[in-house]
Structure 1
Amino acid sequence: MPVFYFHIRSDRGVHPDTDGVRLPDDESVRKEAIDRALIEMSEGVKHDEDRATWCFDVRDEQDRRVLEFPFKEAIPTA
């Protein structure tokens, strides 16, 4: 199973993911991005920090971009 790295880009720069996570396919990568973005935004609320403008730069093992995912896309719409 391939490894994907969920690097975070914020107003303070890039926060690299050095561990990565094994996922079976692109659909799983997107679901993981949504889950992680919601967690990051929840943590931001605890610290009085708006993280909706942050995004993931998801890379594969060859450092190719697989997905660019703005956190705000994880916010459910009514």
Structure 2
Amino acid sequence: MLVSKIICWIYGILNPKYVALGGPDFRKECIGAIRDNLYASLPHNMLAEILHSPDIRHDYYEGMAFLTAGRIFDDVQFLKE
């Protein structure tokens, strides 16, 4: 299964804790087969949690906004007078 091979490559490079799959053409029912294929291919201590996201683009933008805000406000401290 091509998706499982791509995720194996991602694991080897990034070692993520979560992998989100989704999009308009992705069926949520496919996650079980992908997970089974990964369990057969990789050591269990390398496996990330496979998540389904119906709107992966929204999640991407939310994540980028969160990381950007963290960088911008990293040195800001709120003091109570």
TM-score w.r.t. structure 1 length? 0.37
TM-score, structure 2 as length reference: 0.36
Give the helix-richer structure, 1 or 2: 2
State which structure, 1 or 2, has the greater radius of gyration over its C-alpha atoms. Answer: 2
